[in-house]
Structures are given as structure tokens and as C-alpha cells.
Structure 1
Amino acid sequence: MVVVRTAALFVLAALAEIGGAWLVWQGIREHRGVPFVCGGLVSLCAYGFVATLQPDPHFGRVLAAYGGVFVAGSLAWGVVADGYRPDRYDIAGALVCLAGVGLIMFAPRR
């Protein structure tokens, strides 16, 4: 159950952070205006809150592992939202990052 909760919280955090950053990008770089920027800022704040809900008590471990989720999630977001086509190196890199997430979060420890 801890694995499912951890994974779900990582996905929720990725949606909030990547979505928030995308909204800010749209507001500034694509000239879509202040409402996009403000929506992005709210979403980025939500990301910060979601990260605190992880069952592991170690900030550094949670954020380090989340980095791998962020990498894979950012590529997936680009595919869905922007029509980005990742190449084999993008995919391989994302898989390496996700393997790192598994090692960091779920390796047996004393």
C-alpha cells in the first residue's frame, strides 16, 4: 500500500508542478497573460503541499526521488500538451530516472 500511495502522490505532485510551470510558460512566453501565470503559481504552491504528504519522512530522499518522476512526467506532458516527440535517448533517460526513483524510495533499509 505504501508503494501505491507514494506513486500516486508523485503523479499528483508532477501534475501540479509541471502543469504550474507550463501555465507560467504559457502566460509569459506565449503571451497568454496574467491569468495563466497566476494559475501556474497556485498550481506550483499545490505541488509544494503535495510533496509533504509522502509517507517517507526524509525531505532530501523524497525530493531526490521526485526528480526522476519530474523528468519522465515532463516528457509525457510535452507529448500530450505540446505535441513533442521524444527520441530514444529521451525515453531511455526517463527510464533510467524512474529506475532511480525505485532505488531511492523502495530499496531495503535498516
Structure 2
Amino acid sequence: MNIIKSLAVFIIAGLCEIGGGYLIWLWLKSDKPLWYGITGAIILALYGVVATWQSAGFGRVYAAYGGIFILMALLWAWKVDGFKPDKYDIIGAIIAMLGACIIIFFPRNK
């Protein structure tokens, strides 16, 4: 799978996981209506489907996704919740992204 397509799949999966989880969070923590929770659950299930669009194996995809999720969660918190990441958040996200890229994109001996 080419790198751009793979990154796009990771981003779509991240939006599904974070967006679905956020809707459930709002339903349970902010007294939003039940349909927030139901919609969030459907979106979270969609996340599980989207992740299968990667060409690597399950373990490698989920390990790499963890690093990408860290960056996306910080971006979501910043843009949606008004959380301001500090330099340690940014450094940690960069390290996680480097690790994710090494796991998923570096060539392997077969």
C-alpha cells in the first residue's frame, strides 16, 4: 500500500475512533441525548472496519496506529476541546509518530 493511502486510512480510522468515543463521552458525561451514544457506538464499529483497509497484519497496523492516535487525539483536544498542548505533548507526539512510521513503513526482510 502506498504511504499516502496508508496515512489516509489511519486518519479516517482515527477520526472514527476519536469522534465515536467523543460522542459517547458527551452522552455519558455531558447529559447529551441517547442518540449521541448510539451514533458514537456505530462510528466506533466503523473504526474497526476502516482499520482492515490497511495491507499490513493486524498487530503491526494496531501498533503503528497507536502512535498516530496520540497525535490525532492531541489535535482533537486542541481544536475541539480548547486544550493547548505543551512542548512535552508535542515532543511525545513526534516520538510516537516516528515510531509508528518505523513500524508500518520500513521495509522488512521476508
Q: For this structure pair, what is the TM-score category when the shorter chain's length is used for normalisation? A: over 0.9
Q: How does 1:23-42 map to 2 (within 5 A)?
A: 23-42=23-42
Specify the code of the residue in structure 2 equivalent to 1:47: Y
Tell whether 2:62 aligns with 1:63: yes
Matched residue, 2:79: 80
Which 5+ residue runs of structure 2 have no aligned equivalent?
none
Q: What do the CA deviations read for 1:35-82 (whole angstroms, capped 9, x no partner)?
A: 1111100110010000000021x1000000000111110000011111
Q: Say if 1:19 and 1:40, in contact at 8 Å, map to a contact too.
A: yes
TM-score of the pair, normalised by structure 1: 0.96
| Equivalent residue pairs, number | 109
Q: Say if 1:2 and 1:55, in contact at 8 Å, map to a contact too.
A: no
Q: Structure 1: which 4+ aligned runs deviate by more than 3 Å? A: none
TM-align CA RMSD:
0.9
Matched residue, 1:105: 104
Q: How much identity, in percent, do the aligned residues show?
A: 41
Which 5+ residue runs of structure 1 have no aligned equivalent?
none
Matched residue, 2:54: 54
